[in-house]
A = this chain, B = another copy of it.
Amino acid sequence: MKKLINKVEDVVNDSLAGMGAAHANLLRVDLESQIVVRKNAPVQSKVGILSGGGSGHEPMHGGYVGIGMLDAACPGAIFTSPVPDQMLAATRAVNGQAGVLHIIKNYTGDVLNFEMAAELAELDGIKIESVVTNDDVAVQDSLYTAGRRGVGVTVLLEKIVGGLAETGAPLEQVAALARKVNSHGRSMGMALTACTVPAAGEPTFDLSEDEMEIGIGIHGEPGRRRLKLASAAQITEMLATPIIEDLELKAGEQVLAFVNGMGGTPLIELYIIYDSLNRILTGKNIRIVRNLIGNYITSLEMAGCSITLLRLDDEITRYWDAPVYTPALRWGM
């Protein structure tokens, strides 16, 4: 295992310490509670926007704390949902008397821990709404299973909902927009290599020189299918087609196209994927009117990418465009 780390058990803490030192103008890191909180939190009368999940997906979520996006993030151990104590501490820290929105990616661990945290917060008299993202079309959805994973849409949702919350909108409206964004977005990912959880010390799976995994999540896990390596154009087709079909995107519609790197894939390759995606969508007369390309929701140093498409309407576009100032996303200010 080759990583720029000190002790395996200090990875998350050391990284959070660096983050806190680097972005003291935007946020503070509370190492004891293991939370990242917007500097001036709680913002009175503003809905607090809180997310969290395992670490290893950087910049998600800590990198999205700041103005116009998250008010707090709870980072768990690598690939492990944080615990209710963190979520409760963060909820209290961002409660500006307008309630708190919990943004949860659909994984059993995240859902269960946030569930317990919400129960505890409500005992405190804090109004909580929870939204679970589940945009991964690689996974079959069913009432009888754990359901689809929450992946790329989470990043977009956090930005958009954060934009609305900044206007002082009430909790119900913020939660409704969050649910709409989730229902408007779908994602699918693939891996060229596995990644290594520091505490495990070895790659989560073996993949030979000419193979890839299609339909992966963001936890270094294998995907739905192992296939022979294909060209960027073919891979883009494999990822985009199920998304377009599942979203039932029609000619004339407008989307935000998000090409995300899994952590170890350089930008030069992500632009190649974007080029293919643009050709596919243009061919169907679906218009990309906003885009995001880079490493935004990652799986440690895994090589690979995911594609997310988000159907845009005026409201979603407006809050996507709204100013944001966080370590990882910044515009308009």
The count of identical subunits is 2
CB closest chain-B residue, reference A236:
B4
The stretch that binds B, out of A9-17, A92-100, A125-133, is A9-17
> What residues on B are CB-neighbors of A19 within 8 Å?
271, 274
A303 close to B301 (CB less than 8 A): yes
Q: Is there contact, CB below 8 Å, between A268 and B192?
A: no
Q: Which of B7, B21, B268, B295 contacts A267 (CB 8 A)?
A: B295
A143 in the interface, Cβ–Cβ < 8 Å?
no
**Is A235 in contact with chain B by the CB < 8 A criterion?**
yes
What's the Cα separation between A1 and B305 when bound, in Å? 16
Q: How many angstroms from the CA of A312 to the CA of B129 in the assembled complex?
A: 46
A269 interface contact, C-beta 8 A: yes
Q: Which parts of A269-290 form the interface with B (CB within 8 Å)?
A: 269-276, 278, 288
> Hey, what's the 0/1 contact readout for A294-327 against B, CB within 8 Å counting as 1?
0100101101110000000000000000000001
If A18-B273, A22-B274, A331-B330 touch, whether A4 touches B232 (CB-CB below 8 Å) is yes
Q: How far is the CA of A291 from the CA of B209 in the complex (A)?
A: 38
A residues near B (Cβ < 8 Å) are 1-7, 11-12, 14-19, 21-22, 55-56, 58-59, 63, 192-193, 209, 212, 229, 231-233, 235, 263-276, 278, 288, 291, 293, 295, 298, 300-301, 303-305, 327, 330-333
| Interface CB pairs A-B, < 8 A, 28 | A2-B192, A2-B229, A3-B192, A4-B192, A4-B232, A4-B235, A11-B268, A12-B268, A14-B232, A14-B271, A14-B272, A15-B271, A15-B272, A15-B275, A17-B271, A18-B272, A18-B278, A18-B293, A19-B271, A21-B275, A21-B278, A22-B274, A22-B278, A58-B266, A59-B267, A266-B300, A330-B331, A331-B333
